[in-house]
């Protein structure tokens, strides 16, 4: 079994037993009952043993994980997922959970000096999410398969395996997905888009610039009310980003007030796994229109008037008339 498959299987249990949004009391109530001891009479490891082992064989236990019950599934999942970033000297600690969503959990990390940032955000995809990606037909239509270095994979074997959903297919798919989010985010950041700077990716995790401060993460737009005098400029800034993305052949595909952060008067676009290539995806126009409509709906609440269909056509027509 390949490494990613093994990880997926190991952590799928985590999905069923842990919901990060529950209060700790509720979570405690849901804690899995201990399984029958299969250690053939050997004593169960004590709390100290587990703590020292760091669960995954390494001695490093970030403080967020150390504060969790040693038998809690999230503990091992976090340690294993971020260990590569620790080994590569990118982070020295994981301190708190920013948000646990349906698809991923995001954690605050303390970045090492060489990274040039105080904090980093680690986005850890949930195993089930990775498995379900395979059924997400709209976003995949017309997509180009790429290997780890971003080079296009053309082999018949790869395409065949994907279609048949063999283990090899699954592996290519998951690698493709994480790598795609990372490389798209890198490309956008390099081009000057307002997205968090990506730092690294490994297994099911992406490490990136943390948007927020010492006392907490930036809120998403849907969590805040804008002042009428800032709404117009922020709206134009979001639309500039949408235009820049399209210029690079990308449509976000899941843009809304939920995927835009607000910090110190500036916006940052996040969450790129659904990103589609406007050159190849037959749904690109519809997705662009939906993205722009959601943005207009949000800013409309704060006095911005704009016609989403006109705005979409204003971007799409010149794009289609362009020489690729
Ligand atoms: N770089 C970041 N800095 C600060 N908070 C972040 C960052 N990336 C994500 N978040 C927070 O984590 C949440 C989930 O991240 P997101 O990428 O949107 O994943 P999901 O697929 O679960 O929606 C976001 O709504 C946001 O609150
Ligand atoms: Mg999101």
* Residue ranges of domains in the chain, CATH in brackets: 218-320 (1.10.510.10)
Residues 6+ apart with CB under 8 A from 236: none
Whether residue 106 has its Cβ less than 6 Å from ligand 1: yes
Q: Which residues surround ligand 2, an ion (CB under 5 A)?
A: 259, 271
pTM score: 0.77
Is 37 one of the annotated active-site residues of the chain?
no
State whether the beta carbon of 217 lies less than 6 angstroms from ligand 1.
Answer: yes
Q: Which ligand is nearest to the CA of 105?
A: 1
pLDDT of 153: 58
Q: Is position 55 annotated as part of the catalytic site?
A: no
Between CA 10 and CA 130, with CA 79 as vertex, the angle to 5 degrees is: 45
Question: Tens-of-pLDDT digits for all 324 residues of the chain?
Answer: 455 555 555 555 555 544 443 434 444 444 444 444 444 545 444 444 444 444 445 689 999 999 999 888 889 999 999 999 999 999 999 999 999 877 789 999 999 999 999 999 999 988 665 555 544 544 454 455 554 455 665 666 666 656 666 665 555 566 677 888 899 999 999 999 999 999 999 988 999 999 999 999 999 999 999 998 999 999 999 999 999 999 999 999 999 999 999 999 999 999 998 899 999 999 999 999 999 999 999 999 999 999 999 999 999 999 999 877
CB 269 within 8 A of CB 230: no
Q: Mean pLDDT, the chain, as a whole number?
A: 80
CA angle 111–208–278, rounded 5-degree value: 170
Q: Which entry of 80, 173, 254, 291 is annotated as an active-site residue?
A: 254
Contact 218, 263 (CB under 8 A): yes
Give residue 131's pLDDT.
52
- Among 275, 272, 250, residue whose Cα is nearest residue 259: 272
Q: Is 256 in the pocket of ligand 1 (CB under 6 A)?
A: no
């Amino acid at each position: 079994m390949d490494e990613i498959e093994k990880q997926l299987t190991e952590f799928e249990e985590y999905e069923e037993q842990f919901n990060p949004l529950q209060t700790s009391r509720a979570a405690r109530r849901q804690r899995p009952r201990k399984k029958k001891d299969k250690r053939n009479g050997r004593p169960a490891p004590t709390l100290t043993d587990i703590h020292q082992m760091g669960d995954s064989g390494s001695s490093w236990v970030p403080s967020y994980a150390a504060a969790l019950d040693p038998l809690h599934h999230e503990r091992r999942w976090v340690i294993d997922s971020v260990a590569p970033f620790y080994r590569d000297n990118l982070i020295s600690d994981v301190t708190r959970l920013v948000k646990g969503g349906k698809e991923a959990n995001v954690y605050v990390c303390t970045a090492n000096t060489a990274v040039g940032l105080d904090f980093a955000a680690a986005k850890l995809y949930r195993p089930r999410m990775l498995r379900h990606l395979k059924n997400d037909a709209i976003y995949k239509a017309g997509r180009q398969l790429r290997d780890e270095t971003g080079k296009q994979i053309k082999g018949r074997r790869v395409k065949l395996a994907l279609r048949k959903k063999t283990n090899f297919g699954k592996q290519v798919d998951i690698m493709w997905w994480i790598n795609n989010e990372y490389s798209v985010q890198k490309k956008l950041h390099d081009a000057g888009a307002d997205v968090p700077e990506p730092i690294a990716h490994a297994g099911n995790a992406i490490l990136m610039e943390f948007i927020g401060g010492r006392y907490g993460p930036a809120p998403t737009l849907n969590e805040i009310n804008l002042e009428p005098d800032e709404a117009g400029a922020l709206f134009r800034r979001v639309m500039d980003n949408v235009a820049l993305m399209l210029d690079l052949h990308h449509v976000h595909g899941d843009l809304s007030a939920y995927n835009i952060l607000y910090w110190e008067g500036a916006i940052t676009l996040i969450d790129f796994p659904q990103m589609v290539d406007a050159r190849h995806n037959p749904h690109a126009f519809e997705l662009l229109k939906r993205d722009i409509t959601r943005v207009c709906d949000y800013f409309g609440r704060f006095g911005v008037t704009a016609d989403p269909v006109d705005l979409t056509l204003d971007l799409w027509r010149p794009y289609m008339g362009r020489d690729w």
